[in-house]
Amino acid sequence: MSLRKANVAILVAAVVVFLLVLHRNFLGLSDFLRRELTDSNPLGLQPIDFIPAVPQRLMDERNDKEIAVVIAASEERLGGAIAAMNSIYHNTKSNVVFYIVTLNDTVDHLRLWLSNTALKNLRYRILDFDPRVLEGKVQVDPQKADPLKPLTFARFYLPSLVPHAEKAIYVDDDVVVQDDILELYNTPLKPGHAAAFSDDCDSTTNKVAVRGAGNQYNYIGFLDYKKETIRKLAMKANTCSFNPGVFVANLTEWKLQNITKQLEKWMTLNVAEELYSRTLAGSITTPPLLIVFYKQHSSIDPMWNVRHLGSSAGKRYSPQFVKAAKLLHWNGHFKPWGRTASYAEVWEKWYVPDPTGKFSLIRRHSEAYEAK
Express as a percent the part of the chain with pLDDT over 70: 73
Burial (CB count <10 Å: 0-12, 13-18, 19+), residue 341: buried
pLDDT of 23 above 60: no
Q: Which residue has the higher pLDDT, 320 or 44?
A: 320
Give the model's pLDDT for residue 366: 39
Helices 107-115 and 78-89: angle between axes, nearest 10 degrees? 40
pLDDT of 63 above 70: no
Q: How many CB atoms lie within 10 A of CB 282?
A: 15
Q: pLDDT by residue (tens digit) across 152-172?
A: 999 999 999 999 999 999 999
CB 328 within 8 A of CB 347: yes
φ, ψ for residue 76, nearest 5 deg:
-75, -10
Give the model's pLDDT for residue 46: 60
Q: pLDDT grade, residue 340 (50/70/90)? A: confident
pLDDT of 1 above 70: no
Q: Which residue has the higher pLDDT, 369 or 264?
A: 264
Give the model's pLDDT for residue 236: 97
pLDDT of 287 above 60: yes
Q: How many CB atoms lie within 10 A of CB 168?
A: 24
CB 338 within 8 A of CB 363: yes
Express as a percent the part of the chain with pLDDT over 90: 64
Q: Please give the C-alpha separations between residue 257 and each of 72, 196, 263, 272, 331, in angstroms, as whole numbers.
A: 24, 15, 11, 24, 29
Q: Please give the C-alpha separations between residue 160 and each of 47, 171, 195, 252, in angstroms, as whole numbers.
A: 10, 17, 16, 12
Give the model's pLDDT for residue 49: 64
Burial (CB count <10 Å: 0-12, 13-18, 19+), residue 52: exposed
Rounded Cα–Cα distance for residues 154 and 101 (Å): 7
Q: pLDDT by residue (tens digit) across 29-58?
A: 344 333 333 333 544 556 666 665 555 545
**H/E run at residue 112:** helix 107-115
Buried b (16+ CB within 10 A) or exposed e, 235-264: beeebebbbbbbbbbbbebbbebebbebbb
Residues 6+ apart with CB under 8 A from 23: none
Give the model's pLDDT for residue 40: 39
Give the model's pLDDT for residue 50: 60
Q: Which residue has the higher pLDDT, 281 or 371?
A: 281
Mean predicted confidence (pLDDT) in 136-157: 81
pLDDT of 338 above 80: yes
Give the model's pLDDT for residue 213: 44
Q: How many CB atoms lie within 10 A of CB 320?
A: 10
Q: pLDDT grade, residue 312 (50/70/90)? A: confident
Mean predicted confidence (pLDDT) in 258-278: 95
DSSP one-letter code for 368: P
Question: Where is mean pLDDT largest: 23-37, 62-76, 141-155, 234-248?
Answer: 234-248
The whole-model pTM stands at: 0.82
Q: pLDDT by residue (tens digit) across 177-221?
A: 999 999 999 999 999 999 999 998 864 555 554 444 445 689 999
Q: Give SS3 for 225.
A: coil
Q: Give SS3 for 196.
A: strand
pLDDT of 272 above 80: yes
pLDDT of 262 above 60: yes
Rounded Cα–Cα distance for residues 5 and 3 (Å): 5
Number of residues written out for the chain = 372
Q: Where are the beta strands (DSSP E) in 226-357?
A: 242-250, 298-299, 327-329
Q: Where are the domains of the chain?
A: 67-349
pLDDT of 355 above 70: yes
Q: Which residue has the higher pLDDT, 131 or 30?
A: 131
Nearest-5° Cα angle at 223, 220 to 229 = 120
Give the model's pLDDT for residue 7: 61
Q: Please give the C-alpha separations between residue 306 and each of 130, 177, 243, in angstroms, as whole numbers.
A: 31, 10, 10
Mean predicted confidence (pLDDT) in 291-313: 94
CA dihedral 15, 16, 22, 28 (to 10 degrees): -170
Q: What's the CATH fold of domain 67-349?
A: Spore Coat Polysaccharide Biosynthesis Protein SpsA; Chain A (3.90.550)
CB 262 within 8 A of CB 292: yes
Q: Give SS3 for 345.
A: helix
Q: Which residue has the higher pLDDT, 19 or 316?
A: 316
